[in-house]
Structure 1
Amino acid sequence: MLPPFLSPVALYERHLRRCLRRSGLSQRTVAVDGDTTLQFWGPGPGPGPDPAAARKPALVFLHGFGPKAIWQWRRQAQHFAAAFDVYVPDLVFFGGSATRSAERSETFQAAAVGKLLEKAGVERYAVVGTSYGGFVAYHMARMWPERVERAVIASSGINRRRSDGEAMAKRAGAGAAAGGGGPADVMLPETAASMRRLLGMAVSRRVSIMVPDFVLNDVIHRLYSENRKEKIELLTGLTTEKDDTPQVSALQQDVLLVWGENDRIFPVEMAHELKELLGKKVRLEVIKDTGHVPQLEDTAQFNKIVESFLRGPPRFRHKDIFKYFIFLSYSSCIIINRLNYCGKWVNFVRLVPFSCPTELGARCRNLSLFHETLMMSFSMASINLTKYPPRDVASCDVWNRMIRGRSNFSTWVYFSTDARVEFRGEIF
């Protein structure tokens, strides 16, 4: 065993803690009832005499099996801390969380987290769970639809059957299958070889071959050895995998499923089945070239997908040089016209007012009227016109010629992510 000052795991964990502190989070321990204590990272005291008045929307991250929460959610906690009150608890028997209760099910874990949030004064929140944490997130959303506003379930086979555990052990290799312990032999490694096997299952890229044995042994000692007996009981206490019928009911909330394309623990086929089981308000996003931990392998894409889901449909916001133009009580006849610039065709849309209600959001920037996606709602249908990214430099003369003399809100809108375009050719 390496001493703390030489341990790569101990040194890196100090870095993780510093990152969360710099994001405004602090670590606390709360007794949620007479038997159970949870340790978590959460927002520090708010400014002013009434911290509750300054609260942001609450967002809860629930980790999977393996290392404690900060190892699995540090990058997301840093990213979302600016816009959300982020809570990152260690589930029971992980990190500093423990219980004297004999209960070991994921519903018990969900109840403990719910009590923690009650103690923290959080009434409504969104929850994000990965792997085992996705099981807990599902039950929180199922038990408290009035509290959980949105649910994100990542790489979590809550629809698994009895045969899925045996299949996972076979995918892990002959050693795990012969061990007779099923998922526990895979998820709770005891040797460097079994740790490499788990990394091969969880990570899309072959990183395990580059890590020396002494580092893997340090990881096992500091992150996997504690409460091993109780963690095995958590796996055997799961309410799923009791038979060959998925024990999943539909959820009332909007649900986002995020999966790694190359997940070998819960294959992506389970995600498509789960999407059908959870109801009609479910969206599935599969991230390419990732495995069981897409939040670590492609952090930017994972954060983008989750942030888009949590914030809802994009809104045009008052942040540009000119105000938005909102035109109400108009429906529109759409005429697509094209302009040839730099040898490529660019689409324009002409808006001709009629009498039906409509909304047109537009923004001005650098004397050009544009926006990324134009949404027009009709009484019978909705049209979403996509963008054509331009290049080069804007010509205000051409733009002025386009809009000059067109009144009654009949104008031309160019679809673009950039206001600067070099126009060549003629509009016809």
Structure 2
Amino acid sequence: MPPSRHDVQYATVHGHRRAYVKVGQGPVLLLLHGLGCDHTTWSPVIDALARRYTVLAPDLLGHGLSDKPRADYSVGGYANGMRDLLTVLGVDKVTVVGHSFGGGIAMQFAYQFPERTERLVLVASGGLGPEVSPAIRAITTPGFHQAMGLLTLPGVRHLGVAGLRRLAALPTSATRDLGEVADIYDSFKDPHARAAIRHVVSAVVDWKGQIVTMADRAYLTQAMPMCVVWGRNDQVIPVRHANNAAALAPGARVEVIPNSGHFPHKDHPERFAKIVHDFVRRTQPASYSRSRWRRLLAQAPTGAVAPAAPALQLAEAAPGA
């Protein structure tokens, strides 16, 4: 992955070393990256956010500079790991911001630890519908580990990475995310990273698409401010999943950023930082109440809640918004 612009620190939790960046002062924003990425995916927005907040951006276990053991790579396991890292670092409550797979972890964290979650920001998040890029589904197929071992041999990998970056430079929205894909592909040269990613994907995706969904627990967002941010030209998880979020959690703020792909925080960092700050500024942090949580659980809808996508007119973030 690209070199970090910020000082990387380490904490050992359950015997595994975890890398993280912590900068700024104020209320804590916990930034959770997506599949195959690391904290550097947030580099374009960390400094802007750190002017008002304490920004904590970890490398998830199995990613970046964190250890890559044979371990629990489920969404619930990651949420537990974030709870324990926060405890080690002396952080009590956070606004959790999750991108892609990190969005699924953010939702799970908010569900498991509502007493430690002030707000929820989902960025092109998983867990809002079944559709996902065929490239991610392919990771679950037999032989992926062996095939990627061949494709990441030095000469082949260098050609592949260079080709992806050339495609990313083309003036078309269809290839805008391939620069980040090139970094992920390059990271697969580490067999431990490949194995970790395969375990991660197998826990949340099968050949039909995404398995894990927030649909059956979306009613719990009544107790927590939620913002959803998406890129209009997302080629990894379709932007219509933002409609699903609006249908599942009617109180959520939804922002669709034009001329942006799967990484809106990288495509338009200033606009993204402004959206996050405006959301935090305009909302009161959730205050956990066991009695309210019990009441919500007791009044839960019966049966699965389908993530229907009605024809909602989602507001697009205006330039400078």
* Match for residue 20 of structure 2 among 40, 61, 69: 40
Which residue number in structure 2 is paired with residue 402 of structure 1? Answer: none
1:231 aligns with 2:197: yes
Please list every run of 5 or more consecutive structure 2 residues that lacks an aligned counterpart in the other structure.
284-321
User: When the two structures are superposed, what TM-score results if normalisation uses the length of structure 1?
Assistant: 0.54
Which residue number in structure 1 is paired with residue 8 of structure 2? Answer: 27
Q: Distance in 2 between the 1:86 and 1:107 partners? A: 23
Q: Distance in 1 between the 2:26 and 2:63 partners? A: 27
String of CA shifts for 1:204-237, please: whole Å, max 9, x gaps: 364589x8xxxx978743x332311111111001
Decide whether the 8 Å contact of 1:159 with 1:248 is kept in 2: no
1:268 aligns with 2:213: no
Q: Which amino acid aligns with 1:102?
A: A
Q: Which amino acid aligns with 2:275?
A: I
User: Structure 1 residues 129, 217: closer, same or farther in 2, change over 3 A?
Assistant: closer
User: Structure 1 residues 219, 97: closer, same or farther in 2, change over 3 A?
Assistant: closer
User: Structure 1 residues 136, 147: closer, same or farther in 2, change over 3 A?
Assistant: same
Decide whether the 8 Å contact of 1:125 with 1:149 is kept in 2: yes
1:125 aligns with 2:94: yes
String of CA shifts for 1:122-148, please: whole Å, max 9, x gaps: 111111111111111111111111111
Q: Distance in 1 between the 2:97 and 2:214 partners? A: 25
User: Structure 1 residues 206, 272: closer, same or farther in 2, change over 3 A?
Assistant: same
User: Structure 1 residues 242, 68: closer, same or farther in 2, change over 3 A?
Assistant: closer
Decide whether the 8 Å contact of 2:226 with 2:251 is kept in 1: yes
Q: Distance in 2 between the 1:229 and 1:199 partners? A: 26
Q: Which amino acid aligns with 2:53?
A: F
String of CA shifts for 1:304-347, please: whole Å, max 9, x gaps: 1111001116xxxxxxxxxxxxxxxxxxxxxxxxxxxxxxxxxx
Shift of residue 30 of structure 1? 1.0
Which residue number in structure 2 is paired with residue 94 of structure 1? Answer: 63
Alignment of 1:93-242 (within 5 A): 93-98=62-67, 100=69, 102-161=71-130, 164-165=131-132, 168-169=133-134, 181=141, 190=152, 192=159, 196=164, 204=173, 206=175, 220-221=185-186, 223-226=187-190, 227-238=193-204, 241-242=210-211
String of CA shifts for 1:8-41, please: whole Å, max 9, x gaps: x7xx61xx43xx2xxxxx422112224x331111
Q: Which secondary structure does the structure 2 equivalent of 1:265 belong to? A: coil
Q: Which secondary structure does the structure 2 equivalent of 1:150 belong to? A: strand
Q: Distance in 2 between the 1:145 and 1:86 partners? A: 20
* Match for residue 36 of structure 2 among 39, 44, 66: 66
User: Structure 1 residues 292, 244: closer, same or farther in 2, change over 3 A?
Assistant: closer
Decide whether the 8 Å contact of 1:37 with 1:99 is kept in 2: no
Q: Which amino acid aligns with 2:227?
A: L
Q: Distance in 2 between the 1:178 and 1:238 partners? A: 13
User: Structure 1 residues 260, 244: closer, same or farther in 2, change over 3 A?
Assistant: closer
* Match for residue 288 of structure 1 among 255, 258, 278: 258
Decide whether the 8 Å contact of 1:157 with 1:271 is kept in 2: no
Q: Find the structure with the greater CA-based Rg.
A: 1
Q: Which secondary structure does the structure 2 equivalent of 1:235 belong to? A: helix
Decide whether the 8 Å contact of 2:118 with 2:224 is kept in 1: yes
Q: Which amino acid aligns with 1:291?
A: G
Q: Distance in 2 between the 1:178 and 1:63 partners? A: 20
Q: Distance in 1 between the 2:11 and 2:139 partners? A: 38
Shift of residue 101 of structure 1? 5.4
Q: Which secondary structure does the structure 1 equivalent of 2:141 belong to? A: coil
User: Structure 1 residues 218, 311: closer, same or farther in 2, change over 3 A?
Assistant: closer
Over the aligned positions, Cα root-mean-square deviation in angstroms equals 3.6
Shift of residue 243 of structure 1? 8.4
Decide whether the 8 Å contact of 1:64 with 1:132 is kept in 2: yes
Higher strand share: 1
Q: Distance in 2 between the 1:244 and 1:300 partners? A: 30
String of CA shifts for 1:392-424, please: whole Å, max 9, x gaps: xxxxxxxxxxxxxxxxxxxxxxxxxxxxxxxxx
Q: Which secondary structure does the structure 1 equivalent of 2:8 belong to? A: strand
Decide whether the 8 Å contact of 2:176 with 2:261 is kept in 1: no
User: Structure 1 residues 99, 261: closer, same or farther in 2, change over 3 A?
Assistant: same
Which residue number in structure 2 is paired with residue 406 of structure 1? Answer: none
String of CA shifts for 1:241-284, please: whole Å, max 9, x gaps: 3389955533221000000001111111111112222x343111
Q: Distance in 1 between the 2:182 and 2:234 partners? A: 24
Q: Which amino acid aligns with 2:199?
A: E
Shift of residue 196 of structure 1? 3.0
Shift of residue 303 of structure 1? 1.2
Q: Distance in 1 between the 2:35 and 2:213 partners? A: 23
Q: Distance in 2 between the 1:288 and 1:41 partners? A: 29
